[in-house]
């Protein structure tokens, strides 16, 4: 009966310790919002493992600490302790039970992994390109554009077909929980069904060089209507990466760009400002009596600070905010298409095509 008391106390302490430790794990390993249907099973499995770990740790530690306290040597006790040589039943039990538990978890994991990687009949394909150190997203069948952000409709099953242009990378949106490597020379797949509208972030989860930690891209889960609006906008936007600097320059020059055309002709006719026909390399007389050669530096200065050196015969009529406008446009193109351009360089390239 005396032993029975010890077992009851140990049993209660194990229960209390398990509940407490499981609470500590949930608090310590708190996860962000679950934003995909795949997140459910991942979080559930983590939850079961937390219970398991809390229980096993408690079982071992409570028994050890309790025994050390309850069965410690009493001051007057000088006798040798009872010698115990093995316990076959116990040893069989603590071998067999863990084997089945571990195999059980293995089977459960295999079944769930199979379910997570199963194709959906109506899944939408996105091609993901990973490189040192940025992400690119293409939408086969939905347009020719390349996006620097991943925008997807909510509740639509997605299949990401992922390629690396250089080394190993790994696609990981913590809110979606699941993760997949990008392996050079292979196409890897990841299936996600985003379930919560919101702004997230894909991070690279594989050390891939000095800028690894900066290999991030926005992931936006939006409504079906917002997604369609975004597609229309993406398809309407010029694909700057497919244009030459000269073509981009012509675009910036036009009314759709920055409207240089309204003051500068390309055929020699005079306007509010000097014609661009043959402008590159031309000698211009300035209103202060000096002469300047129209080179890259002069063009950049004349666009960013138009009144610094006025060509003789022309009034100070040009807006003075192009440096800011260009910077905003360049930032937008970098953010949406991942392309770094310099609009002044594009305009210079265009000017060079306008020879007399």
Task: Give contact residues for ligand CUA (rule: CB under 6 A).
Answer: 130, 169, 204, 206-208, 212, 215
Residue closer to ligand CUA (CB basis): 13 or 168: 168
DSSP code for 36: B
Shortest Cβ 135–ligand CUA spacing (Å): 9
- In 179-244, where does DSSP find H-type helix? 224-236
- Cβ neighbours, 10 Å, residue 277: 16
- In 205-321, where does DSSP find H-type helix? 224-236, 245-253, 296-304
12 vs 20: CA distance, rounded Å? 12
φ/ψ of 155, rounded to 5, equals 65, 15
Shortest Cβ 150–ligand CUA spacing (Å): 15
Residue closer to ligand CUA (CB basis): 245 or 338: 338
Residue closer to ligand CUA (CB basis): 135 or 322: 135
Smallest CA-to-CA distance from 22 within 48, 54, 47 is with 54
342 vs 350: CA distance, rounded Å? 13
Shortest Cβ 143–ligand CUA spacing (Å): 26
Residue closer to ligand CUA (CB basis): 166 or 189: 166
Q: Would you list the DSSP string of 5-23?
A: HHHHHHHHHHHHHHHHHHH
> Which helix (H) or strand (E) covers residue 284, if one does?
strand 283-285
Shortest Cβ 188–ligand CUA spacing (Å): 14
Shortest Cβ 163–ligand CUA spacing (Å): 13
**What's the token pair of residue 349?**
């390239």
Judge whether 292 and 309 are in contact, CB under 8 Å. Answer: yes
In sequence order, what are the residues at sequence separation of 6 or more whose Cβ sits closer than 8 angstroms to the Cβ of residue 209? Answer: 132, 133, 167
Shortest Cβ 338–ligand CUA spacing (Å): 14
Residue closer to ligand CUA (CB basis): 169 or 234: 169
Residue closer to ligand CUA (CB basis): 95 or 210: 210
Residue closer to ligand CUA (CB basis): 217 or 279: 217
Shortest Cβ 331–ligand CUA spacing (Å): 23
Residue closer to ligand CUA (CB basis): 147 or 302: 147
- Cβ neighbours, 10 Å, residue 183: 17
Shortest Cβ 177–ligand CUA spacing (Å): 19
**What's the token pair of residue 70?**
């309850």
DSSP code for 1: -
337 vs 242: CA distance, rounded Å? 11
């Amino acid at each position: 009966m005396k032993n029975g008391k010890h077992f009851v106390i140990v049993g209660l302490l194990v229960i209390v310790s398990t509940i407490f430790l499981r609470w500590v794990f949930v608090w310590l390993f708190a996860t962000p919002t679950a934003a995909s249907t795949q997140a459910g099973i991942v979080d559930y499995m983590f939850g079961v493992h937390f219970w398991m770990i809390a229980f096993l740790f408690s079982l071992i530690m409570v028994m050890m600490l309790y025994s050390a306290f309850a069965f410690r040597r009493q001051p007057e006790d000088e006798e040798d302790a009872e010698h115990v040589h093995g316990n076959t039943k116990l040893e069989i039990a603590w071998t067999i039970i863990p084997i089945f538990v571990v195999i059980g978890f293995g089977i459960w994991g295999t079944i769930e992994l199979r379910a997570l990687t199963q194709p959906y009949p109506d899944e939408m394909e996105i091609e993901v390109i990973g490189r040192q150190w940025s992400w690119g997203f293409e939408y086969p069948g939905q347009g020719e554009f390349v996006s620097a952000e991943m925008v997807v409709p909510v509740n639509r099953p997605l299949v990401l077909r992922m390629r690396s242009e250089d080394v190993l990378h790994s696609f990981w949106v913590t809110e979606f929980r699941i993760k997949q490597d990008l392996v050079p020379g292979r196409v890897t797949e990841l299936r996600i069904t985003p379930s919560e509208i919101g702004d997230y972030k894909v991070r690279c989860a594989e050390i891939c060089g000095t800028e690894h930690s900066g290999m991030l891209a926005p992931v936006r889960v939006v409504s079906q209507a917002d997604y369609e609006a975004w597609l229309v906008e993406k398809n309407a936007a010029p694909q700057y990466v497919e244009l030459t600097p000269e073509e981009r320059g012509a675009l910036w020059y036009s009314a759709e760009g920055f409207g240089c055309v309204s003051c500068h002709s390309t055929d020699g006719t005079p306007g509010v400002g000097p014609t661009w026909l043959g402008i590159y390399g031309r000698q211009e007389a300035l209103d202060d009596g000096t002469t300047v050669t129209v080179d890259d530096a002069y063009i950049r200065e004349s666009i960013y600070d138009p009144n610094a050196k006025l060509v003789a015969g022309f009034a100070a009529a040009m807006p003075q905010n192009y440096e800011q406008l260009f910077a905003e446009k360049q930032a937008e193109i970098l953010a949406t298409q991942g392309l770094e351009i310099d609009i002044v360089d594009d305009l210079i390239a265009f000017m060079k095509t306008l020879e007399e």
